[in-house]
Amino acid sequence: CDVKDKEIATCPNQDIIDKLSELMELHKAKPGQEDHWRAFAYSKGVTTPIRALKHHPTRIKTYEEARSIRAVGDKTARKIAEILETGDLRRIGYERTEDVQVAQILQGIYGVGRTTAYKWYSAGCRTLDDLRNGVGGVKLSSVQEIGLQFYDDINERMPRSEAEAIFNLIKPIALSIDPNLFIQIMGSFRRHDNRYVSLPTSLTLPNIRGKSSCGDIDILITRPVDDGKTHIGVLPRLLEALHSAGILTEDLAIPDDLYDLEATYRGLCRLPDVLNSKRRRIDFLTVPWKARGAALLYYTGDDIFNRAMRYKAGAMGYSLNQRGLHAGIVRDPQDRRVKINEGELELCIFFLRPSEQLL
Ligand code: DCP
Ligand code: MG
Ligand code: MN
């Protein structure tokens, strides 16, 4: 169903996916330090089956049938059987306590994590209006204030067409600052190009992407270095120009060093010439030219695809991250997780379309 968003309604196991996802979201919102790990382990144990279910072509009818899907273990299959028999999952009712429900709402505020949400709950806050009214003497940071003000906008995904329209305004402004820039949308918007690589079947599904809706706009900026110049200095000028054009509206996270080759900016933007256009989340990432392939791969995602790719690279003796694919890494024999050297950058251009390789 994930292949194209519009197919979601026609997925034969959507009711099962909905219940399992609801339980997963409740686990994510749960309090406590040890529970943090539990939620993490749980989300790994359950997102894979959910994914597998999304791509299962027929209606599942029995426990055995659920169990026959490779990613579905005994626990998940038992939950599926319960949903099939009763149309419900009792665990959801047990987990959906008031504190978890409130924490879910509060964590929808940009800049509010689990710890803050439960602290505010303990202080007596139950609703967004409680926060606005200063219940419990709670003080919000300036970023959280923005998150509260634009709560609905930020929690809504934008149509793909809107992400594209915003990018089409930004690109010429960036190129007017430096015509040699390399600027691309990444994230769920972009499609991976897997023409040059053969992947195991388990890795081909998220490899598609190019989703019909986007949670935010992820923009990569870099610049070829053959003329001895870099993109350093472009980001601060671009941010200023976009604020002046009414495209950027609020800053959420400005990098400590705007003049670094590698920087991340997070903010809100909107279509300036559309009446009452919504605030949309936007991220800018600048990376060194040689890291552009690895950066495009990583920031196109999704995160589960990245985890699988990193694992695959590791098993082949490489190390993959958003900066590149590294070879010849020497690891501590006592603890294989510890790297003694960083290795050489083996491959820097991969998963790039020809149109993305050339300007
Ligand atoms: N990413 C990752 N691990 C994280 C966060 C991000 O691997 N913890 C990578 C994979 C994501 C990409 O960065 O696909 C972009 O992050 P986003 O949070 O913007 O996620 P998406 O663009 O995939 O989805 P959305 O449409 O919700 O923005
Ligand atoms: Mg994104
Ligand atoms: Mn993002």
41 CA distance to ligand 1 middle (Å): 19
The pair of structure tokens assigned to 284 is: 């800018």
281 pocket-lining for ligand 1 (C-beta < 6 Å): no
- Predicted ipTM? 0.98
Residue 139 has pLDDT above 60, yes or no: yes
pTM of the model: 0.82
Question: Which residue owns the Cα nearest ligand 1 atom 24?
Answer: 188
Q: Is the pLDDT of residue 36 over 80?
A: no
Please tell me the residue having the least CA distance from ligand 1 atom 19. 187
For residue 194, the model assigns a pLDDT of 60
Going from the Cα of 190 to the center of ligand 2, the distance in angstroms, rounded, reads 9
What pLDDT was estimated at residue 196? Answer: 47
User: Per the structure block, which two tokens stand in for 3?
Assistant: 């292949």
Q: Which of 33-42, 312-321, 336-345 has the lowest mean pLDDT?
A: 33-42
Identify which ligand lies nearest to the alpha carbon of 306.
1
* pLDDT at position 39: 56
**Catalytic residue positions, numbered:** 79
Contact 209, 301 (CB under 8 A): yes
Q: 299 CB under 6 A from ligand 1? A: yes
Distance 263 CA to ligand 2 centre (A): 16
DSSP assignment of 211-271 equals -SEESSEEEEEE---TTS--STTHHHHHHHHHHHTTSEEEEEE--S-TTSSSEEEEEEE--
Per the model's pLDDT, the better-predicted residue between 100 and 329 turns out to be 100
Residue type, 165: A
Ligand 1, residue 209: give the atom nearest the CA.
23
Pairwise CA distance, residues 117 & 2, whole Å: 30
Token reading at 235: 């980001």
